[in-house]
Amino acid sequence: MQKTILNNGVEMPLIGYGVFQISPEICTRCVREALDVGYRSIDTAQAYYNEEAVGTALKESGIAREDIFLTTKVWISNAGEEKAAKSIDESLRKLQTDYLDLVLIHQPFGDYHGTYRAMEKAVKQGKIRAIGLSNFYNDRFIDVAETYEIKPAVLQLETHVFCQQKAMRDLVNEYGTKLMAWAPLAEGKNNLFNDSILSEIGEKYGKTAAQVALKFLVSEDIIIIPKSVHKERMAENLAIEDFSLIEREMQIIRTMDTGHTLIADFSNPALAKFLLHYED
């Protein structure tokens, strides 16, 4: 599986399996199936309520821990140095592991500076291999990147063909930070699965519009974590390493960028209030 190298030398698969909005009742089954079809990177979070289910799936799979790249995220209610440290230990317990490959601050709210300090300490204690941020834009990303000894290895943002995050990619490149795409298929918005541009390119390679959309991101060295609860779709999302997009096709897809998000605007005060009062 194709990998990228983070700014601290850690290798991370470019394609992972995301478990956002997968209930604990089916999450163990879904993660086991994802591992069965070949995924070796799993992305969860404290606020997804399914860390325990992920941990069970990993344990039941029999796959060596060192062969799996495991990501979780610290939620706002666990912000602050002391609370974040305790929450990381709790995530380790739920995931049935003694280390995490990547831990992100989930949202740019609350005492995220205290959280980042806790994450730095956890790296030095051997509990975490790499740390980063999720949903931090512009000044808030710089606030962390310029303040701490350990630079964010990963920044996870809404990223897809309609929102390619070109400005943020230019910004984070200065720190060697890799962009990680949540909602890499835009949750199907703008009729992505039937898009004429993506479908026409895909026809040439015997691929779907969705596979072309994912291949574009990976070709830009963007980490992706597509989600599906159907094993055949999991396999389809993973089956993008057997073809390459030519530069003309890449340029055409770049013109699809709208320059704005379609799913979540983190500068929206209403969204900020919702997240700050969301209980994990």
Pick from 114, 152, 117, 121: which is nearest to 135 by CA? 152
Q: Which domains does the chain have, with CATH numbers?
A: 3-276 (3.20.20.100)
Give the tens place of pLDDT for each residue, 152-200. Answer: 999 999 999 999 999 999 999 999 999 999 999 999 999 999 999 999 9
Give the tens place of pLDDT for each residue, 62-81. Answer: 999 999 999 999 999 999 99
How many CB atoms neighbour CB 175 within 10 A?
17
Pick from 29, 6, 27: which is nearest to 18 by CA? 27
Residues annotated as catalytic (active site), given as ranges = 48
Distance, CA of 75 to CA of 99 (rounded, Å): 18
Distance, CA of 225 to CA of 13 (rounded, Å): 10
- The predicted model gives 37-50 an average pLDDT of 98
Phi, psi at residue 135, to the nearest 5°?
Answer: 70, 20
pLDDT at 203 over 80: yes
- Quote the DSSP letter at residue 150: S
Distance, CA of 122 to CA of 261 (rounded, Å): 33
pLDDT at 234: 98
Sign of the Cα torsion 133, 138, 142, 145 reads: positive
pLDDT at 277 over 90: no
pLDDT at 268: 86
- Degrees, nearest 5: CA angle 213-54-212: 5
Distance, CA of 195 to CA of 207 (rounded, Å): 13
Pick from 47, 101, 48, 52: which is nearest to 79 by CA? 47
pLDDT at 280: 46
pTM (2 decimals)?
0.96
Measured in whole angstroms, the distance separating CA 136 from the mean position of its chain's CA atoms is: 13
- The predicted model gives 124-150 an average pLDDT of 97
- Degrees, nearest 5: CA angle 65-106-40: 25
Token pair, residue 192, equals: 């992505």
pLDDT at 279: 66
Share of residues in the chain with pLDDT > 70 (%): 99
E strand or H helix at 103: strand 100-105
Distance, CA of 171 to CA of 176 (rounded, Å): 10
Give the tens place of pLDDT for each residue, 207-231. Answer: 999 999 999 999 999 999 999 999 9
Distant-in-sequence, close-in-space partners of 133: CB < 8 Å, separation ≥ 6: 104, 105, 108, 141, 144, 152, 154, 155, 156
- The predicted model gives 1-27 an average pLDDT of 96
Token pair, residue 230, equals: 């159907």
